[in-house]
Structure 1
Amino acid sequence: MELTMRWFGPADPVKLWQLRQVPNLSGVVTALHDIVPGEPWTSQAMQALRSVVEAAGLRLSVIESIPVHEDIKLGNARRDERIQAWLESLRVVAAAGVQTVCYNFMPVFDWIRTDLAHPQPDGSTSLVFRQAEVERRQIGVGELSLPGWAEAYTPAELADLRAAYAEVDAAALRQNLVYFLRAVVPEAARLGVKLAIHPDDPPWPVLGLPRVVSTTEDLRFILEAVPNEHNGLTFCLGSLGARPDNDLLAMVEAFAPRIHFVHARNVKRLSDRDFDEVPHVSHFGSTNLARVVLRLEELRPRVPVRPDHGRMIWGETGRPGYGLYDRALGAMYLQGLIDAMRERRQHG
């Protein structure tokens, strides 16, 4: 697999020159983060982003993400307009030579955690999720740390979205996803871009909102609804692994040809709905990350993989989950697994 790392642009505390020094890391996963969701991306901005990455000696490997506007998820009167804007962005990405686009279809909230700096026994801090805590809080800016949304919506906008989703159950959301895929996958195929939907995080309904990318059955439905290789998956071990009834190895076996991007992250499940993010090394968590990554390298040796989320260690401060040090350690753990499988293939 191609070893990559996520980078949040020039304002990211982690710099491209630092990523360049992670052994064998060649790819950057990023996006045009300053463009409002629903607005089409421009060729000038995309080419500028590519130039910055390449000037650092790295490759623009994956776009994560082109945001899917809430109008599309809701299936309202503006969804066709929003889909056309999304397609304009996709064409811009393809023109810049990027062949993999990760996106998600989670209503309102991106990944949800209840603590972004939970103390761990070794003195590090990490992201954690507690179901009871998230459900008892009132949603409002400053009352709950939900990365990606607090700055994007005013309290009034959040209230309006919650009201709109009261009319959208899981079945309706699933059909809205299929509508979107049928509109965009043919163009992605024409452009030669692999679309890779990210699982729900966490992979169950939260705050009364439906989730439809959480289980083996969900993934099978999505892939069969639009049976085109350009309609694929971001296989996030941490998201899917937070749910105890998800068999990650079985998922790899079932869906390998349609896995276009891998997020490698380990979680320790404390109950069916509570978990901590822990070091990437398998025995620290509930996910046998080594076994799954070895099989992925065997079946999908050319897809990009990135160490997903990391603890804050050695006194580092920065963007929660996206510091340099622990993700670099995770990258080296992944590289060791990749090397082991390559040696096995070469020498038996």
Structure 2
Amino acid sequence: MAVRNDTKVTQFILLGLSSDPDLQIIFFVLFLMIYLVTIAGNLLIMITIYVDFQLHTPMYFFLSHLSFLDLCISTAAVPKFLVNVLSESKTISFSDCIAQLFFLHFLGGTECFHLVLMAYDRYVAICNPLRYTTIMNRRACLLLVVSTWVGGFIHGFGQTFPTAQLSFCGPNEINHFFCEAHPLSLLACSSTFISDNADIVNSGSVSVFCFMVVSISYTYIISTVLKIRSTEGRQKAFSTCASHLLVIILFFGPMVFTYLRPPVTLAGDKLISVFYTLITPWLNPFIYTLRNEKMKEAMKRLGGRKVSLLGLHKN
């Protein structure tokens, strides 16, 4: 059993994914490559949607915000990990650790609510197509997006505040590659009853609520699509929703496994965290561009504009 003293911890040591130097280098290269592709892919989606007026619809407005959230979530976790791999100390201050914990849950909660919003958008578009432009007007879209950020902020604060109230007096090694609530609570000198239950109730309730609403929305969507007589119409509707469903599975799967269970440490927790902080934001641009003809056409038009501008510049 580790011996604790009365000295207040002012910084933590992030142990990362492995103590093996060779594996650390492999992880560094992989994380760096994936992170750079994540930045480029999500920025490309955001720029394409902003520039191409044909994509100025609620569906692509929400997609651009999803790309922004993916970019932010990866940035909240990955750069610090990359710096620590190259550093000998691998430390993070107490305030920076709490800030990282807050932003990861703030952004993660916002993305949960945003995926619900995108499911609602598809529900209105397919189940109430004649009222779609009336319901999903510009003002409504802006209010809905703002509401997801407010919900994410409340979730992030509710997740971070109980952990920030804990006392830490040593040891200070976090068995993770970023600051997370449960690994932090294992280092606390004070009672973790409130923080542990807040972790389950807060994150668990958000995950369950969002997943249930999305599931109900897609139950109605699939039921409506199956009633479409045209085979081409059914395929088009399913194709539009397939990308979103895949993103939902990739995002909610790891979160449900992580938060809808007792606060225990499992060997695969760090790898699961890699999935929703790095892999999913990296995959989303490929999922939405490779399966979306309008996005592919818009990117071709964007490429054509760049070529034209370069030609004019040379002349």
TM category (shorter chain) comes to: under 0.3
Structure with the larger RCO, 1 or 2 (CA within 8 Å, 6+ apart): 2
TM-score, length basis structure 1: 0.24
User: Which structure: larger Rg?
Assistant: 2
Question: More helix per residue: 1 or 2?
Answer: 2
TM-score, length basis structure 2: 0.26
